[in-house]
């Protein structure tokens, strides 16, 4: 029986579109999944490449250190190696992503239950899960941080659990380390306001349930996969919001061995039972906060079935030190939420943009709020406080800047701090902040604090001392004509007015570049005067 038409692409169709747009790099040579795969893709994040040049990598010939070959390809970066790839998965241009998220969250669509599911074309259960080369050990799961990680780890996951009281499912992205062909250990966030899956785990414990049913889904359709890292209110079914993104119901099917509904077009589904009594050491693992997470006790899961397509593809996220695929996914999803909170919920209309600093800090520690010039100071401080405490693990350092400052250019931010900020008046510190996600954890009961900085202009200032745009663009065309090395302009790359500038000075500048500087000399000669000290300011009438 065939399913009704769907309104969204699956992973295979998404990869075909990436290839058509020149965003997919296929690697057919043998690649060791444990020592070579992630480091190879990592180079496009640490090798000085512009974000627009990054691609998804599809590996078709996977081996391990013992020379074992795997028949299943692995793709890395297929959801968010850059914003163009993310926008391809979302089906809209980058500048329309926020509006699409807003519509999807406001207009969820209930899933459609089907019985004919691609994700169950192959079913592996019972004895077939056991032994080397079987079960989980048959899957080419990469090691993410060779040299530190202790196991191949599932990273591009949509982990599905159900609230035992309300029946509402949760779907989150949690890592899971392989331990045996039929056992892995799942790490769900336990911090304050943490993962919905962990809250389900706590409810099962309170009820006295020995096991919590769980399905770890790999290779969801992009509109579903994007919901795993997204932070929605507790109790919201992510599959319904995915339907909002897709503009139609997501096909789901009942899992084979656990009472959960899983995306029908997924590549692989790992079904199992999480032990609510026993915990098992898991990690070291290179985490998204940029440090290696050391061993901790986390949740063992006994695998009861693995189902997959007849020709599946396994996705893996490049995480660890930002920028990475996981940080791009979170950034594109989180920034619109912050902006909606400040502009909509708090009503601060002067806020134009919220940027979560990505390189090394991984979005969690530094937030840059862009405001209109002339925004009242009271509104700037409301925005800084609102950004600092919108999410418990984001906004340790919040900086307000004006629209001429590129929030992705640390040098520009330092410039604003150096010339637009009086530390005595424009800096505040606040105590009683949790540690949040990072190498220091809330479980250690160690508090952190918050730093707020107003680095906006408090009045007009002279222009930025670079040639104006028309002259820089003219020079760039000559640069390109000469075949000189490719340029990657870093804003600010041209001069512009910051308010303290007069039309008379514009006219003098035009005369100077047209070779008529002597006329400027005649004008200034007529303005000579005595009885004043050098460096006395002069403003022409």
Which stretches within 93-250 are classed as H helix? 97-106, 196-207, 222-225, 238-246
Q: Among residues 469, 476, 335, which one has the least CA distance to residue 407?
A: 335
Q: Where in the chain is the domain with CATH 2.30.110.10?
A: 96-312
What would the mean pLDDT of 303-316 be, rounded to a whole number? 98
Q: Where in the chain is the domain with CATH 3.40.1670.10?
A: 325-454
Query: Dihedral (C-alpha) 400, 406, 412, 413: value to the nearest 10 degrees?
Result: 20
What would the mean pLDDT of 157-182 be, rounded to a whole number? 95
DSSP calls for 107-130: S----EE-S--GGGSEEEEGGGG-
Beta bridge pairs of residue 159:
172, 216
Question: Is residue 192's pLDDT more than 80?
Answer: no
Beta bridge pairs of residue 169:
162
Question: Is residue 471's pLDDT more than 50?
Answer: yes
Q: Among residues 306, 298, 319, which one has the least CA distance to residue 198?
A: 298
What would the mean pLDDT of 14-43 be, rounded to a whole number? 95
* pTM, full prediction: 0.83
Which tokens belong to 302?
């006994």
143-156 b/e (C-beta count within 10 Å ≥ 16 → b): bbbbeebebbbbbb
In this prediction, residue 530 carries a pLDDT of 94
Q: In this predicted model, what pLDDT tens digit does every residue of 474-514 receive, in sequence order?
A: 999 999 999 999 888 888 999 999 999 999 999 999 999 99
Question: Is residue 321's pLDDT more than 70?
Answer: no
Architecture per CATH, 96-312: Roll (2.30)
The answer for residues whose C-beta is within 8 angstroms of residue 127's C-beta and 6 or more apart is none
Instruction: Give the position of tokens 């040299």.
Output: 147
Class (C level, CATH) for 325-454? alpha beta
Most confident of 158-162, 187-191, 323-327: 158-162
Question: Is residue 62's pLDDT more than 90?
Answer: yes
In this prediction, residue 439 carries a pLDDT of 62
Which tokens belong to 390?
């919108």
Band of residue 293 on the pLDDT scale cut at 50, 70, 90 = confident
3-state secondary structure 74-87: EEECCCCCCHHHHH
What would the mean pLDDT of 420-434 be, rounded to a whole number? 92
Q: What are phi and psi of 58, to 5 degrees?
A: -110, 115
């Amino acid at each position: 029986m065939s399913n009704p038409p769907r309104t969204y692409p699956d992973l295979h169709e998404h990869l075909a579109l990436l290839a058509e747009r020149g965003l997919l790099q296929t690697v057919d040579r043998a690649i060791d999944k444990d020592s070579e795969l992630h480091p190879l893709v990592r180079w496009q994040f640490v090798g000085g490449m512009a974000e627009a040049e990054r691609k998804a990598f599809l590996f078709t010939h996977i081996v391990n250190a013992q020379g074992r070959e795997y028949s299943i390809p692995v793709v890395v970066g297929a959801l968010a190696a850059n914003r163009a790839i993310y926008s391809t998965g979302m089906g809209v241009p980058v500048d329309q992503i926020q509006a699409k998220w807003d519509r999807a969250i406001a207009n969820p669509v209930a899933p459609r239950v089907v019985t004919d599911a691609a994700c169950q074309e192959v079913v592996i259960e019972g004895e077939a899960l056991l032994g080397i080369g079987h079960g989980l050990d048959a899957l080419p799961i990469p090691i993410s941080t060779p040299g530190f990680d202790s196991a191949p780890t599932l990273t591009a996951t949509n982990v599905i659990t159900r609230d035992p009281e309300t029946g509402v499912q949760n779907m989150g992205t949690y890592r899971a380390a392989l331990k045996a062909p039929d056992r892995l250990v799942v790490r769900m966030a336990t911090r304050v306001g943490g993962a919905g899956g962990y809250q389900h785990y706590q409810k099962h414990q309170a009820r006295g349930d020995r096991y919590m049913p769980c399905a770890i889904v790999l290779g969801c359709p992009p509109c579903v996969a994007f919901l795993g890292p997204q932070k929605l209110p507790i109790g919201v079914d992510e599959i319904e919001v995915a339907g909002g993104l897709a503009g139609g119901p997501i096909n789901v099917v009942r899992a084979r061995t656990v009472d959960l509904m899983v995306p029908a077009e997924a590549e692989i589904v790992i079904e199992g039972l999480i032990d609510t009594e026993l915990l098992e050491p898991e990690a070291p693992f290179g985490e998204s906060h940029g440090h290696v997470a050391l061993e901790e006790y986390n949740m063992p899961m006994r695998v009861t079935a693995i189902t997959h397509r007849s020709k599946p593809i396994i996705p893996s996220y490049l995480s660890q030190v930002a920028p990475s695929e996981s940080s791009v996914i979170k950034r594109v999803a989180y920034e619109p939420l912050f902006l909606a909170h400040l502009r909509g919920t708090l009503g601060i209309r002067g806020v134009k943009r919220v940027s979560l600093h990505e390189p090394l800090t991984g979005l969690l520690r530094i937030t840059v709020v862009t405001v209109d010039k002339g925004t009242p100071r009271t509104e700037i401080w409301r925005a800084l406080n609102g950004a600092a405490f919108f999410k418990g693990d984001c906004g340790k350092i919040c900086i307000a800047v004006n629209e001429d400052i590129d929030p992705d250019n640390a040098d520009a931010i330092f410039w604003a701090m150096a010339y637009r900020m009086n530390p005595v008046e424009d800096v505040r510190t606040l105590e009683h902040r949790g540690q949040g996600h990072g190498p220091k954890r809330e479980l250690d009961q160690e508090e952190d604090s918050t730093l707020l900085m107003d680095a906006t202009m408090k009045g007009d200032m002279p222009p930025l001392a670079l040639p104006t745009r028309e002259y820089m663009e003219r020079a760039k065309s000559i640069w390109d004509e000469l075949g000189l090395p490719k340029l990657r302009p870093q804003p600010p790359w041209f001069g512009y007015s910051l308010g303290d500038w007069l039309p008379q000075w514009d006219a003098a500048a035009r005369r100077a570049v047209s070779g008529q500087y002597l006329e400027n000399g005649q004008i200034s000669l007529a303005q000579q005067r005595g009885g004043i000290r050098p460096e006395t300011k002069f403003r022409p009438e």
